[in-house]
């Protein structure tokens, strides 16, 4: 079978995703333009085609049942974290898009120490309930330790942050997504006093306002 046909066959299989799919599509475009492949590209192509073969497709189909039953919920939690990290980005996006990931890559991601910490943070009981009046801790940094759900102009952001820094705010939601493997990474949506725009802050950067009367 010609390399082009082998690539097209691999791309037709659901086992092929993430970086492998991007690589094969790139090589296919190169072949279509009549450009030769380098020795390294040929070597990589052989490896990618091998792990996206018809045999691996069968294994993938069996794995899809196992993934849906045993890993999907926790895998989505882990993927939400890794989607914002340097590694496993393509794999995480596939999972968040509802695709079944390649087994080996997924298990390497799922079993690493950061993923375990993320799952522990996700399973932890929230330290603060909805309705709690909280203020920033000393470690809070308005430039690095908060998020906004939508893009808003800097002046509005600054006003919201100032309100929270000076007056605190009320927790209106405990967020599901974990974006840090650090202790206290559970995220809270907070409505600062005097604001109509909420912000999101991790648990480790807030504390209950015990001086509130």
Rounded to an integer, the average pLDDT of 174-186 is 95
Contact present, 43 and 63 (Cβ < 8 Å): no
Asked whether residue 143 carries a pLDDT value surpassing 80, the answer given is: no
Asked whether residue 190 carries a pLDDT value surpassing 90, the answer given is: yes
What pTM does this model have?
Answer: 0.71
- pLDDT of amino acid 24: 94
Going from N- to C-terminal start, the domains of the chain cover 3-121, 133-208
Q: How far lies 7's CA from each of 29, 44, 171, 181, in Å?
A: 11, 12, 51, 38
pLDDT in tens, 20-44: 999 999 999 999 998 999 999 999 9
Q: How many C-beta neighbours within 10 Å does residue 83 have?
A: 17
- pLDDT of amino acid 213: 56
């Amino acid at each position: 079978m010609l390399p082009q046909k082998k690539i097209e066959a691999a791309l037709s299989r659901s086992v092929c995703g993430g970086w492998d799919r991007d690589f094969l599509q790139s090589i296919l475009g190169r072949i279509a333009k009549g450009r030769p492949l380098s020795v390294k590209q040929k070597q990589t192509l052989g490896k990618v085609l091998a792990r996206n073969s018809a045999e691996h497709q069968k294994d993938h189909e069996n794995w899809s049942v196992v993934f849906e039953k045993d890993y999907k919920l926790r895998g989505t939690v882990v993927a939400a974290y890794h989607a914002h990290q340097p590694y496993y980005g393509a794999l995480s996006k596939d999972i968040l898009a509802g695709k079944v990931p390649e087994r080996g890559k997924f298990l390497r991601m799922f079993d690493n120490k950061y993923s375990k910490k993320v799952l522990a943070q996700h399973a932890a009981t929230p330290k603060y309930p909805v309705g709690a009046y909280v203020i920033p801790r000393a470690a809070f940094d308005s430039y690095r330790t908060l998020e906004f759900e939508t893009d808003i102009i800097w002046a509005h952001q600054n006003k919201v942050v100032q309100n929270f820094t000076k007056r605190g705010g009320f927790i209106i939601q405990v967020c599901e997504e974990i974006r840090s493997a650090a202790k206290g990474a559970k995220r809270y949506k907070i409505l600062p006093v005097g604001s109509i725009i909420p912000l999101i802050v991790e648990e480790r950067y807030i504390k209950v306002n015990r001086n509130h009367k």
